[in-house]
Structure 1
């Protein structure tokens, strides 16, 4: 069973990493063990809207590549299927056209979907910087309630007033 004082508890929240790390060092200087303190980031900014990513451009390229690959696969399947007796009644030319068109369509849809999903993770232009930095940093401490209150008081008297 885990001892309640082994569980990290938020002590203070800061808007930037340097301030949170300075508060961490202040607690260490006051005698808190480094293995009982930590700084973590929270509230990572959400992913940007799809309109600010490369999803649209990637989907177009994926559709083109998928259509070409699908057409080639359809052509290959058509050639292989004309060798079988069941397609002789359809006619080799209509079988060839049908398979190439079907392969091209399936390839375009599949290629477009895969490329769009991959492009949704790629930021376009300068918008990327808005989504990288976490919104806030939290100083955590492990200890009993008395130790945690002492840590909050130390940070308060040294001017580190975090939001909780």
Structure 2
């Protein structure tokens, strides 16, 4: 089971190592847009939309890694002062009752829109924009799959027995 969890973690790490570069590219493109508009009087709707696409991809595809490194949003009202055993129970509850059903529902309810978008190869958001809204909509099921895989990995780790080194670290 440990090897499966490590493999699933690897998917999140590889995905993050690729999409993290979108942050740099996004800043450079946005800088070029501003310089082009205000210095040279040139504007490109496609370039503006590319920033939107990169932003969407960065956050949607990076969500699984965010969950892996425990940097996701958490309500710490009870969690912060809870014992390790209680935290494990809260995490299991959160994955099984909240996160996994939410991701499955989102994937289920968004799939018809994604499928239809691919069927018609849905065009740009704005006139003159990138003719690939279907690709951006595909980020929704990709997001769901990546978060579900990472949730499964974390659940596997939560179900593994606590080692003495983990007890000592706590």
TM-score by length of 1: 0.25
Greater percentage in strand: 1
Q: TM-score, normalised by structure 2?
A: 0.24
Give the helix-richer structure, 1 or 2.
Answer: 2
Higher radius of gyration, 1 or 2 = 1
